[in-house]
Amino acid sequence: MELTNNAFLKDENILTLFSLNNLIIPEIQREYVWGKNTKVLEKFLNDLKESACVCNSCHHVHGNQNINIGFLYSYKPPYVKLENERYLDEYLIDGQQRITTIFLLLLVRAVVENRVEDFCNIVRYDENEKHMSFSYKVRNLTQDFLLRLVEHIVKNPSINSLDFFLSDEYPFWFLADYYQDPTIASMTCSIKSMLKIFPCEEYYFDYLLESIHFWHFKTEATSQGEELYISMNSRGEQLSSHETQKATSLPPEEQINWGKKWENWQTFFWKNRNNNNAKNFNADKGFNQYLDCIDSLERFKYELSSGNAITEDSLGSFHTDIKDIEIYMEALSYICDKKKFNLDAYSYKDWYDSFLSDIWEELNINESSWKVSKNTYNNDAVAKNKAMLFWSWMYYYKLKRTDNIDSSNIDSSEMLRLIHFYYIRYHCYKRSARPLFRIIEDIAKNGFNIYKQLNGNNEEIDDQDKEGETDSRLFSNEEVVLSKIFNLNTSSAFALESICWKLQDIPYLKDGKKVGGNTINDFLDYIGNDNEQTALKEMETLYSDLNYLISNDDNFNKVKSLLLFYSEDYGCPFWQRQSPYYYYNYECSLKKRIVRCEAFLDFYKEYRESRDLDQMLKEKRKDFFSLNHVFDFNEEVVHSLKNMAIIYDAIITRNPDLVQIWNKDSVAFSNSLVEEDVESGQYLYRNQMKLWSLKRYFGSNFIEIKLPKGWRQLLIDSYPDISFKFKNYDNSR
C-alpha cells in the first residue's frame, strides 16, 4: 500500500521480517528493557501463548488466525544501494522491545522444539562472517553476546544449553562485561520468563513465525527517515509508560485494529510535542501525561462511586478500559480543533488560545502528579487543580459520546461554556474535585445554567482546601451572577457572554491563589444588571474602567496615592507586610491583591461619580490637611503609618523633579530615622518609619527616598489655606 513516494507499509510476519531484511538496532536506540519489567513482558508473553490455541492432543498450533502486534518503523541508512543488495539493512526506529522479545522467544522455542537449524536458516546465522539478520551490530558488546549465545546453542542444541539462565551459573564464554550491560541483563531476564511461561511439551515455533505479524512501515533512505529516526530514538531512556500501557491494554483478539488506533494517538502527540514552546524530541511526554490523566480520572470516579479507595495493593484490580481511552483521545482531539466551536460569534475569544496553551503546558512541560485519591484528597491540591482544566470536558465528552455513535451530536456551544467555566476555576484555584462529576452530569442532562443547577441547591462543599469564602459553596456568587447575566436574553447572549469572559480573563481578576477579597460580583453589586442592555453597558464600563485605572502605570500610581486615604479603616492597609517581617518590609505592587481589597472597591464607587483622578487626589489631600489643621512635626508626636505615607506622597509627588514614590515596582518601610537633610541634623518622625523603594526584599541596590530640602515650604505653597506648624521653623519665612 503506497503511502508516499518514498515510504510504504506492509503487513509482514516474523518469517518475512527476519528472512528478507537485516534488522539492525542502532546505537542511538534506547536499551532493551522489557526483561526487567516482568509485568509488561509476561503480559505480552501470556497473550501470545493464549492466542496460540494449542491442540490438546498433538500439542501443536493449527490454523491459527494472524495476530498483529503493532507497528515496526524502520529506515534504510544512506549507505544502502537498492540495486546492489539482496538483503537490505533496515535501522529500526521504533518496535525494538517487541521485535527483540520475539527474536529471543523464537530462539528459545527453537532449542526446546529441536528447530535450531531452522532458526539459523531463517535469521541467516553465519558463524564465520559473524552475521545474523537481526543484530545490534553497532553495539559491539550486545552483538557479541547474541552471536556467542547462538554459537553456544548451535554447538549444544539441547534444552540443557539454556540451563545457565535459570541457575545464574554462567559458562566460560559469558564475559564479565556482559554483567554490566543493561540490554544483556534484560535479555537474560526475558529468557528466564520465556522458559517459565511456555511449556516444553508444546510447539509454538511455527506459530511464532507465521502468525505473529507487524505493520512494517519503511521510510526508506530519505530525509524523512533520518528525521524520524533521530527524533524517535535520541532519548536514550527506559521504556516509556505509554508503551508499557499499550502492552497491557490492547485486547489480544483485536490487536490489529487497536494497534492502528494507538499508533494514530501517538502520531497526534508527535505532531503536538512542541506545543507551548516545549522542547520534546518525541511524543512520549505528552502521551504519557494524558494517559496518566485518564487513569487518574477513571480511578477517582471509581472511588467515588464505589466508596472504596484504590490502594497500591488493590491497584491490580482496576483497569482503564481501552474504549474509554479511545473516547478521551477523541475528546482531546475535539477541543484542539477550534473549528468545532462557533468562536467567531463572540467578540472576545482570546481566552480559548490561552486555554489550549494551558492544556499543552500541562502535557508537554509540567510533570506533577495527576493522582487524586480518597485517601490523600486534602494533599492532592496540584492534581485537583489540573482536574479542573482537563476532567471537566473529558467527562462531558464521554457522557455525550457514549450516547452517540460519533461526536456529531455534541452541543459545542454548551461544551464551550463548560470549558470556560472550569478554565476560570483552574486559574482561580477553585479545585473541588468531588462535585465535578455530578456538576458535569447535570450540565450534560439539563444544559449549562449554573443558577438553576441542582434545583437551586447551592450547597456547602466539604473540601478542606477552600481558598476563601467564595469557595465555600458549590458555586460562587460570581459564577451564579454571571450565569444569570448572560442568560438574560438570547438576543444579546453572545455579547453578554463575551464581556463576562473578558472581565474574568483580566489577569488580576482571574488568578485568585491565596488572594481572596472582592471579585467581579462585588463590582457588579454597584451597577445595574436588571436587564440585558443595562448589564451589557455597565460591564463594558467596568472593563474599560479597570483597564484605564490599572493597566496604565501613571493612572495606577495615582490610584495607589488615592488608596492611602481609604486603607486604614480595614485593619490592613492596601500595602502588605512582607517577609522577612523583621525589616518592616511592605509592598504595594501586586495588582490582583490591590484591586480586590476593600479600599479599592470604596475608591471605585467614588471614582464612578467623578471620573477625574487628579481632582479626586487634590480633594483628598486638601481634606486630609484641613482635618488635621495644625501639623506639629516635633519628634514626640507618634504618627500613624498611613499619615506618614500620605505626607511623603504629598511632598514628593508635588515636585516633578523628585523621585516618584509610586513609579517603582513597590514601596517598603523600614524601622529607622528619617532625615530631612544631613547638614541640618533635623529629623522627621524620629524612631518612626523610613521609606524605601525596592522590588520586594532588601537588596544591594535599594534606593533610600529622603525628604528634599525645602519640603516644609513645598507643603505650605501647595496648600495655602492650611495652617502648618513645624518645630524650629518660621511659617512666615
Instruction: Select from 190, 194, 195 the least CA-distant residue to 145.
Output: 190
Q: Which residue is listed with cell 503609618? A: 641
pLDDT at 531: 75
User: For 675-703, what is the mean pLDDT?
Assistant: 52
pLDDT at 465: 45
pLDDT at 207: 93
pLDDT at 253: 62
pLDDT at 686: 47
What pLDDT band is residue 242 in, cutting at 50, 70 and 90?
low
Most confidently modeled range among 264-268, 416-420, 622-626: 416-420
pLDDT at 628: 56
d(CA 436, CA 419): 13
pLDDT at 29: 67
Tell me whether the omega of the peptide bond preceding residue 580 falls within 30 degrees of 0, making it cis: yes
- Of the listed ranges 111-120, 375-384, 470-479, 516-525, the least confidently predicted one is 470-479
Q: Name 126's bridge partners.
A: 131
Higher pLDDT, 135 or 227: 135
User: For 48-64, what is the mean pLDDT?
Assistant: 87
CA angle, corner 234, sides to 233 and 239, nearest 5? Answer: 55
pLDDT at 663: 65
Instruction: Select from 594, 511, 504 the least CA-distant residue to 549.
Output: 594
Higher pLDDT, 436 or 578: 436
CB 684 within 8 A of CB 674: yes
CB 254 within 8 A of CB 57: no
Q: Is the pLDDT of residue 699 over 60?
A: no
CB 573 within 8 A of CB 560: no
User: For 545-566, what is the mean pLDDT?
Assistant: 91
| pLDDT tens column, 480-511 | 888 877 777 667 888 988 999 999 999 888 76
Of the chain, the percentage scoring pLDDT greater than 70 comes to 73
- Of the listed ranges 79-83, 143-147, 222-226, 618-622, the least confidently predicted one is 222-226
Q: Which residue is listed with cell 505493520? A: 215
Q: Is the pLDDT of residue 674 over 80?
A: no
What pLDDT band is residue 461 in, cutting at 50, 70 and 90?
low
pLDDT at 720: 81
d(CA 363, CA 317): 27
CB 364 within 8 A of CB 274: yes
Q: Is the pLDDT of residue 637 over 50?
A: no
| Beta pairing, strands 674-677 & 689-693 | unpaired
d(CA 109, CA 104): 9
Mean pLDDT of the chain: 79
Sequence-ordered alpha helix ranges (H) in 25-161? 38-52, 96-112, 116-122, 140-155
Residue 668: helix, strand or coil by DSSP? strand
- Of the listed ranges 92-96, 438-442, 624-628, the least confidently predicted one is 624-628
What pLDDT band is residue 689 in, cutting at 50, 70 and 90?
low
C-alpha cell at 86: 539482496
Q: Which residue is listed with cell 462543599? A: 461
| pLDDT tens column, 268-314 | 988 898 888 888 767 788 998 999 999 999 999 988 888 877 765 55
- Please write down the HEC assignment for all residues of 357-424: HHHHHHHHCCCCCCCCCCCCHHHCHHHHHHHHHHHHHHHHHHHHHHCCCCHHHCCHHHHHHHHHHHHH
What pLDDT band is residue 569 in, cutting at 50, 70 and 90?
low
CB 727 within 8 A of CB 634: yes
Q: Is the pLDDT of residue 730 over 70?
A: no
End-to-end Cα distance, the chain: 100
- Of the listed ranges 32-36, 546-550, 679-683, the least confidently predicted one is 679-683
pLDDT at 225: 43
Higher pLDDT, 237 or 506: 506
Higher pLDDT, 20 or 642: 20
Higher pLDDT, 27 or 434: 434
Instruction: Select from 257, 199, 196 the least CA-distant residue to 69.
Output: 257
d(CA 315, CA 311): 6
What pLDDT band is residue 428 in, cutting at 50, 70 and 90?
confident
Question: What's 580's DSSP letter?
Answer: S
pLDDT at 492: 82
Q: Is the pLDDT of residue 222 over 70?
A: no
User: For 93-108, what is the mean pLDDT?
Assistant: 90
Chain centroid offset of residue 221 CA: 37
Higher pLDDT, 542 or 569: 542
d(CA 243, CA 357): 26
Higher pLDDT, 580 or 130: 130
Q: Is the pLDDT of residue 150 over 90?
A: yes
pLDDT at 665: 62
Q: Is the pLDDT of residue 223 over 50?
A: no
pLDDT at 725: 67
What pLDDT band is residue 188 in, cutting at 50, 70 and 90?
very high
Q: Is the pLDDT of residue 373 over 70?
A: yes
| Beta pairing, strands 2-4 & 7-13 | antiparallel
d(CA 623, CA 607): 17
| pLDDT tens column, 390-408 | 999 999 999 988 766 555 6
Q: Is the pLDDT of residue 224 over 50?
A: no
Q: Is the pLDDT of residue 158 over 80?
A: yes
Q: Is the pLDDT of residue 598 over 80?
A: yes
